[in-house]
Amino acid sequence: MIIIQLKPKKEESLQRFHPWVFSGAIHRIEGKPTEGDLVEVLDSNRNFLAIGHYQIGSIAVRVVSFDNVPVTDDFWSRKIQWAYAMRKSLGLVAPGNNNTYRLVHGEGDSLPGLIVDVYDETAVMQAHSIGMHEIREVLAKAIVANVPEVKNVYYKSETTLPFKAAIEPEDGYLIGAETAQLTALENGLKFHVDWLRGQKTGFFVDQRENRSLLERYSAGKSVLNMFCYTGGFSVYALRGNAKLVHSVDSSAKAIDLTDKNVEANYPNDPRHASFAEDAFKYLNNLHTLDQKYDLIILDPPAFAKHREALRNALKGYKRLNAKAFEQIKPGGILFTFSCSQVVSKEQFRLAVFSAAAESKRNVRILHQLSQPADHPINIYHPEGEYLKGLVLWVE
Ligand code: SAH
């Protein structure tokens, strides 16, 4: 195995089990690693620290083991086994009620660079590192071997791997083939998941618990699900006996998907309507009290994907939330989210605070929301925390 020796003092974060080696920490590389190779990381005194996947870039090594053990097919299989055991013990594997969950959440499952979402019999796998891309076949076999419900593995990494790498990932089935689409169940609700054409792996599994909370607050309310995508929040609001649910997304495809999902659960329900429109345009057009809502969900796409975009992202969150404060009915409830990893909980809360102050309305925080248990945060890798939400009472 190729050896990477660190500069003095640069071993500290690895000794605290942080799973990344930054390129600036490297003293020398012995041999010529190809991207995706397994490498052994040593401290400046040549003591063993970790084994990881090598890649060119600011994160040079993603650690897969802090123990000096052989990284065999069985090694990967055991990791998948652990990931599945956790989901099962959390009650997420519940055929007939819930078969939609995240099986592998990268660093959170000690598998940096790998995301796997399960939709009934199909696992959708995304590699974010070359190392995981290289072993995709091994991982697919490990998934089918350890997750009894899964028969098909679809690989979807064309857009998630670094474009500079000299590989051309192709999306497609590594095991099995396309099956009937309407089989994903989340808390008893049906969803069409289009992993071929949809965003990410086809569905935002990470909002499951926040959708359940929304259901509890929906009875008798008029609900606006802004940035609805697949209509997840809308379907839960309908089940929660909302008086009316309006779903808005700028993408016509998202609106089609929302309509299909509402139809699958509540056919011909006159309480639901959907609109393919820009968020600001829609919110600006609510003029009378009658047009305003009791409950608004704001779940926009990540405004900042990189640190440089942070300032503008915070302005964006402030502007969007200010609009919602302006347009929500007295005694309304706002569910507001940020999924930008570079925006911290504190920064997001500050942006929402500024928006509230601008609106001069009396606002109370009812809940502070995060990502669900199948998106665990490795305690040694706080960067894994990305989803933040606030539930607010607006007087
Ligand atoms: N709430 C959804 C996920 C939202 S993803 C869920 O629970 O699954 C973000 C969505 O915002 C995407 O569907 C995208 O089409 C939509 N979007 C992006 N920009 C928008 C804009 N300016 N106005 C309205 N929708 C927008």
Handedness of CA 49, 108, 200, 321 (dihedral sign): negative
From the list 103, 154, 101, 100, the residue with the least C-alpha distance to 125 is 154
Task: Work out the number of other CB atoms within 10 angstroms of the CB of residue 361.
Answer: 16
Could you tell me the domains of the chain?
A: 2-65 (2.30.130.10), 73-186 (3.30.750.80), 204-394 (3.40.50.150)
Distance CA 227, CA 282 (A): 11
* Rounded Cα gap, residues 200 and 125, in angstroms: 10
Query: pLDDT grade, residue 309 (50/70/90)?
Result: confident
Task: Give the residue, by CA position, lying nearest to ligand 1 atom 3.
Answer: 229
134 lines ligand 1 (CB under 6 A): no
When pLDDT is averaged across residues 119-131 and rounded to a whole number, the result is: 96
Spacing, Cα 283 to ligand 1 middle (Å) = 14
**Confidence grade of residue 79 (pLDDT, cut at 50, 70, 90):** very high
Task: Determine if ligand 1 sits within 6 Å of the CB of residue 232.
Answer: yes
pLDDT above 70 covers a percentage of the chain that reads 99
Looking at this protein, which amino acid is placed at residue 123? Answer: A
In this prediction, residue 165 carries a pLDDT of: 65
Residue 53 has pLDDT above 70, yes or no: yes
**Interhelix angle 345-359/310-327, nearest 10 degrees:** 40
Q: Is the CB of 230 under 6 A from ligand 1?
A: yes
In which residue are the tokens 């652990």 written? Answer: 82
- How does pLDDT run across 132-180, given as a tens digit for each residue? 999 999 999 999 999 999 999 999 998 899 876 678 888 999 999 988 7
**Span 229-238, pLDDT tens digits:** 999 999 999 9
Q: Distance (Å, rounded) from C-alpha 348 to C-alpha 277? A: 25
Give the pTM. Answer: 0.95
Task: List, for residues 347-395, the tens digit of each pLDDT value.
Answer: 999 999 999 999 999 999 999 999 999 999 999 999 999 999 999 999 9
Ligand 1, from 201, 245, 250: best to mutate by most atoms within 8 Å of Cβ? 250
Q: Is the CB of 251 under 6 A from ligand 1?
A: yes
Nearest residue to 247 (alpha-carbon basis) of 204, 299, 200, 319? 299
Q: What is the side-by-side strand order in the sheet with 38-42? A: 20-22, 59-65, 48-54, 38-42, 2-6, 26-30
For residue 382, how far is its CA from the centre of ligand 1 (angstroms)?
26
The side-by-side arrangement of strands in the sheet containing 244-249 is 272-276, 244-249, 222-226, 293-298, 328-338, 388-394, 363-369
